[in-house]
Chains A and B, each alone.
Chain A
């Protein structure tokens, strides 16, 4: 019973005019090519530093896209109404996981620089030998293929079914996507958790934390919701989705950002406090590196910026209902997510303190521009929202 006047969108949907942004697309493509070429130079000149920089950039964008995939499957599994209008963008961002699977190849090639456990022979270190059943190269490779393969196939399948529904509106597609999502939810949890163990936690094979997978997930879910806010705002700025996404949708996205701001702090603190309190050397080493020397400053910035600044701001309803103000907060959270990932990956290399490198920046630009370029190619192919989704009208009239 909303007082909002709703014009039902035409079944043709709303299409992104790629011609208007040909310049941006070309620029992104050019930057991506140049940066990727420079990255190859980096991989040759300074492979040790470069491999960590690349892993950092990969991890940042991987958590964002995996988070968008997560929101898509949650949408289907819970039969959500409000998120129908933003779902196509979640699907597009999730489909970028295919590109990320390709960009994972350099990590496999540079594995000897990243993962010390691969080069230590059996019998040298007992704490490693007890983990050999899990930490060995063939199994690592199989897992990477399974994890990335799952993300890639499930994200593409969901996008494909959703796009096919645009043409005939058959509700069976909704049922089909729900089934895919039911299977995907536990698979997502396993793949993200063990992916986090493999690619980030095993940078230091002596360290372990059972909460690490959830920690990565908490950051991924909150920051991908922030990314969605930014993408939707950019599309609205360009004149699209004006009558489709309303302040009510922003309010809900803002609430999710708030929820995962708290959840990230809860998990991050839970992980920290248990290790701090128990004070066992093999567990504390991770935090000792990150809480001493110049890393301490960045760790404090993360705690304050990601939670103590973002939380009270996101508490305010007026900001959640204000697209531009919410976008500023979303941008801030993305920066904090980048810092979070940086603090997970780079201290494993520079144990003595913060040492910024040009390859950090270049890797970030290379992967970011590549994904941006592909995204601009994906968006015009379909309507900007699922035009014949059975829940579209309810979604348009969302009030909360």
Chain B
């Protein structure tokens, strides 16, 4: 754990950039330097940033597929369970066995979509460690401009390649301004 001379825990070293393009170029440099625990911040999504950061494929889709299949199976269970097994009722002369499935498809479809949407929402929250009360980046006053016109990049102290001099040098080389240490708390 890296600490400042005053005993604060260090969260990251961060820098501000002039534009989205500068941030994009800096991200490519940081990616190529081999850092794993770092992030960029801007008020809007920057096209191609995934690639520039070397993020790879998000596994959110796996959770969505899991949610969708759960929804489909849930619907099948709560429809066929009562209607075919527990309490079969003759409705309009329709069968009560598997061949009543057209009547059940809309619910299967809807629960598939609903559970997939829930999975997408909650898995996204979990993967981003949300919700949370605060984030160390907010300890930096300049960072409040991130929702307006600020473009920031922060390399976390827990990254194995993190050294104060090395990261500062890298951020300077990429054109970062107002380079600073961000406290954990």
Contact = CB atoms under 8 A, between A and B. Distances in A.
Interface of A: 1-3, 269, 272-273, 276-277, 279, 315, 317, 399
Most A CB contacts (10 A, CB to CB) among B21, B52, B105 go to B105
A contacts with B: majority SS? helix
9 contacts: A1-B21, A1-B48, A2-B48, A3-B51, A269-B102, A277-B92, A277-B94, A279-B92, A279-B93
A148 to B, nearest CB: 36
A1 B102 CA distance: 48
Interface of B: 20-21, 24, 46-48, 51-52, 57, 61, 65, 92-94, 102-103, 105-106
A16 B117 CA distance: 47
A399 B102 contact: no
Contacts of A269: 102, 105
Contacts of B57: 317
Contacts of B47: 1-2, 399
A223 B57 CA distance: 29
Contact of B103 (A1, A2, A277, A317): A277
A277 B93 CA distance: 10
Contact of B102 (A2, A273, A315, A317): A273
B24 A1 contact: yes
Nearest to B103: A277
Contacts of A273: 102-103, 105-106
Nearest to B105: A269
A351 to B, nearest CB: 22
Nearest to B48: A1
B30 to A, nearest CB: 15
Nearest to B20: A1
B102 A3 contact: no
Given A269-B105, A273-B103, A273-B105, A3 B52 contact: yes
A326 B82 CA distance: 42
A277 B48 contact: no
A269 B103 CA distance: 10
A317 B21 CA distance: 28
Nearest to B106: A273
A3 B94 CA distance: 59
Contacts of A279: 92-93
A399 B48 contact: yes
Contacts of A399: 47-48
Contacts of B21: 1
A26 to B, nearest CB: 47
A174 to B, nearest CB: 23
B122 to A, nearest CB: 21
Contact of A1 (B46, B65, B93): B46
A308 to B, nearest CB: 12
Nearest to A318: B57
Nearest to B91: A277
- 10 pairs of A and B residues whose beta carbons are closest in the complex: A1-B48, A273-B102, A276-B102, A1-B47, A1-B24, A2-B48, A399-B48, A3-B51, A269-B105, A279-B92
Nearest to A1: B48
Given A277-B102, A315-B65, A399-B47, 12 more contacts: A1-B48, A2-B48, A3-B48, A269-B102, A269-B105, A272-B102, A273-B102, A273-B103, A273-B105, A277-B94, A317-B57, A317-B61
Contacts of B48: 1-3, 399
A3 B27 CA distance: 13
Nearest to B102: A273
Most B CB contacts (10 A, CB to CB) among A1, A273, A315 go to A1
